[in-house]
């Protein structure tokens, strides 16, 4: 498969008193089009920092982050904001929904005034939200709210979706449903998906697993076959 992102010799460092701390220590990685990549590691391993610099939410100290030969590490604020808006989707542990809008309206927030009704209806169907479309956030479970957040990200047809602990606030049953929704997005829409998690059980749903510690990639595992979310060992 073609590479959609190429990360070359990325360093992210900062000062802690008189000491230099490396949040990312010379990271190089290719991310393939249409793959699910799970980034696994303990707190402080650098996994969220890596997600943030790849997505342009944070800057690097040095190195390159290439999307189709475009080095976004050199983009200025306005340019990187436009790039994220046009190409990337984000799912966080907190859902960040607007309480005064219903499900359908919350998803449409991500449209940027394109008013693609056909895509909206497809997303509502694919994420099993059609029967909830007129409900407000207080009427939804945590898992349902996260599916709305996925729909909001998906409606702008991102090339890559970044998921930072997307099941962190959910119980096992709801968490597995969210993972299945992300797998469905990958299968149906061909979206490349990066999932950051501390839960080792989630690694099994990916095509590849990136293990991190102390700002370094310590292991990359290729899964011969993805495990269905219902069948993973949930862990803690």
Q: How far is CA 89 from CA 41, 43, 158, 197, in A?
A: 22, 23, 5, 17
**Residue 111 in this model has a pLDDT that exceeds 80:** no
CB 198 within 8 A of CB 225: no
Can you give the pLDDT at residue 142?
94
More reliable by pLDDT, 189 or 114: 189
Average pLDDT in the chain = 93
What is the pLDDT at residue 16? 84
Total-model pTM:
0.93
Mean pLDDT for the stretch of residues 173-202: 95
Domain boundaries defined on the chain: 3-95+158-231
pLDDT reading at 113 higher than 60: no
Looking at residue 116, its pLDDT comes to: 77
For the chain, the first-to-last Cα distance in angstroms comes to: 33
The DSSP symbol for 214 reads: T
**Where are the extended beta strands (E) located within the chain?**
3-16, 19-32, 36-40, 62-67, 70-71, 88-91, 160-164, 192-197, 208-213, 216-222
Helix (H, G, I), strand (E, B) or coil at 27: strand
For 3-95+158-231, give the CATH class: alpha beta
Q: What is the mean pLDDT of residues 27-37?
A: 97
What's the pLDDT at 61? 96
Please report the pLDDT score of residue 17 as a whole number.
86
| Number of neighbours of residue 188 by Cβ within 10 angstroms | 12
Share of the chain above pLDDT 70, in %: 97
What pLDDT, on a 0 to 100 scale, did the predictor assign at position 10? 97
Helix (H, G, I), strand (E, B) or coil at 37: strand
Q: What is the pLDDT of residues 126-139, one digit of tens each?
A: 999 999 999 999 99
Average the pLDDT over 33-44 and give the result: 94
Tens digit of each residue's pLDDT (9 = 90 or more) over 200-230: 999 999 999 999 999 999 999 999 999 999 9
> Which of 67, 42, 43 has its CA nearest to residue 53?
67
Closest C-alpha to 96, from 166, 159, 158, 32:
166
């Amino acid at each position: 498969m073609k590479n959609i992102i190429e990360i070359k010799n990325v360093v992210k460092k900062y000062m802690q008193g008189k000491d230099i701390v490396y949040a990312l220590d010379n990271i190089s990685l290719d991310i393939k089009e249409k793959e699910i990549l799970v980034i696994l590691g303990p707190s402080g391993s650098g996994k969220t920092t890596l997600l943030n610099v790849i997505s342009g939410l944070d800057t690097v100290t040095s190195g390159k982050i290439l999307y189709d030969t475009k080095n976004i590490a050199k983009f200025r604020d306005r340019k990187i904001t436009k790039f994220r808006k046009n190409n990337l989707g984000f799912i966080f542990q907190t859902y960040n929904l607007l309480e005064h809008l219903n499900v359908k309206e919350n998803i449409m927030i991500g449209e940027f005034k394109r008013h693609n009704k056909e895509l909206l209806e497809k997303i509502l169907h694919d994420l099993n939200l059609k029967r909830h479309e007129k409900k407000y956030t207080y009427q939804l479970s945590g898992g349902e709210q996260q599916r709305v957040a996925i729909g909001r990200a998906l409606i702008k047809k991102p090339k890559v979706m970044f998921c930072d602990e997307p099941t962190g606030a959910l119980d096992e049953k709801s968490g597995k449903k969210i993972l299945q929704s992300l797998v469905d997005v990958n299968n149906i829409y061909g979206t490349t998906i990066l999932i950051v998690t501390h839960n080792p059980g989630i690694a099994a749903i990916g095509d590849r697993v990136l293990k991190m510690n102390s700002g370094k990639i310590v292991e990359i595992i290729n899964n011969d076959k993805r495990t269905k979310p219902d069948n993973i060992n949930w862990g803690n």
